[in-house]
Copies of this chain bind each other. A is one copy, B any other.
């Protein structure tokens, strides 16, 4: 495909390689936006997980509380759709919140197939604490980007997601 390759192998010792074998990823990330995107997301996800490790809520649960606080009681279906979390994952997510006493599964008054997931009074302080940690979370995940670059990233993601 490319130039005839030497059949030589790196020795196991740590001599810095001239042929770019040890910097191959940098080249790959420049040529393949898909790979760069996936690997960067893995890093960001790991940073988020580390940051959330000590806290009471998972990211999904945090988003659920926030949406309930913003728009009022929702069915699991609505939460799933708007937060882009799979229905089957949402079940366990709400289970956890219910066990912690932060939401209740009430019946939807007009559709008894659906629940009306509703915040309890206990949820407010927990949500507030979680929201207060978001800036630090973002700094940890996107520390390499300036504020302007983060806005650019948000705009590009918005186009891929087809929102605005």
Contact = CB atoms under 8 A, between A and B. Distances in A.
Contact of A158 (B21, B30, B44, B156): B30
A75 B161 CA distance: 38
Nearest to A128: B1
Nearest to A13: B110
Contact of A48 (B34, B66, B84): B34
B36 A158 contact: yes
Interface in A133-158: 134, 137-138, 141-142, 144-145, 149-150, 152-154, 156-158
A91 interface: no
Contacts of A149: 156, 159
Contacts of A36: 153-154, 157-158, 161
Determine how many copies of this chain the complex contains. 2
Interface in A10-52: 10-12, 19-22, 24-26, 28-30, 32-45, 48
A9 interface: yes
Nearest to A116: B9
Given A1-B127, A141-B34, A29 B154 contact: yes
A72 interface: yes
Given A9-B116, A157-B29, A160-B145, A38 B37 contact: no
Give the top 6 A-B pairs by smallest Cβ distance, nearest first: A36-B157, A26-B163, A24-B82, A41-B41, A12-B111, A5-B72
